[in-house]
Structure 1
Amino acid sequence: MAYWLCKTEPETYGYDDLERAGTDVWDGVRNPTALKHMRAMRPGDQVLIYHSGRSRAVVGVAEVVSPPRPDPAAGDDRIVVVDFRALRRLPRPVTLDEIRARPEFAGWELLRIPR
């Protein structure tokens, strides 16, 4: 099992939406690096859901429940989607500042690649 981090704007689609849906398609990703990671996702992998924007915190955990597949709405086979299932909301959000303060996360892409 692998572990991933996926970012989302909670005003557009947040962890609350995934919880309500139970299982949903993770789509709309166009960043080449993010798409590379999505192509490597496998059912059973776990995903930390990170709210970007004002929140800037990991808020929940999801599970990958489908292999990656081309996004039929994209018209480009390089653009993929996967299905996620909400597993659990964290007892409290873990903020980006808290993550930055931990030396074990120093090499994490979330911290290395500015957004």
Structure 2
Amino acid sequence: MSAADQMLRAYRRMMARSGEQVMIRRGEGSAGRNIGVRARVTTFDAHEVVGDIVQTDTKLIVMAEDVTFDPPFQKGDRVMMHGRTLAIVGPPNDKTRRVGGVLIAYEFAVRG
């Protein structure tokens, strides 16, 4: 089993234990489309508050295999969770959660 396969299995276990279902929304009104994704919802550590990130933002780690939009993220996409609609802050990071060139998960901030 490759390192990427091992990491993907580990992420799936983590999401099963501590993840939750959130919706990513693309578009407006009846033309809008929602997809449900598994996400780990957490806060940013002080050393992660850089650039556009502020202490009150929420960090989401989303399984890449759940994101069926093409392209995966666009400006204006939103996240719906805990009864609120939140804006995605900046483009999701698809670099730090790759193993052997395989994208395992996206990491990004939401605000609202």
TM-score of the pair, normalised by structure 2: 0.31
Identify the structure with the greater strand proportion.
Answer: 2
TM-score of the pair, normalised by structure 1: 0.30
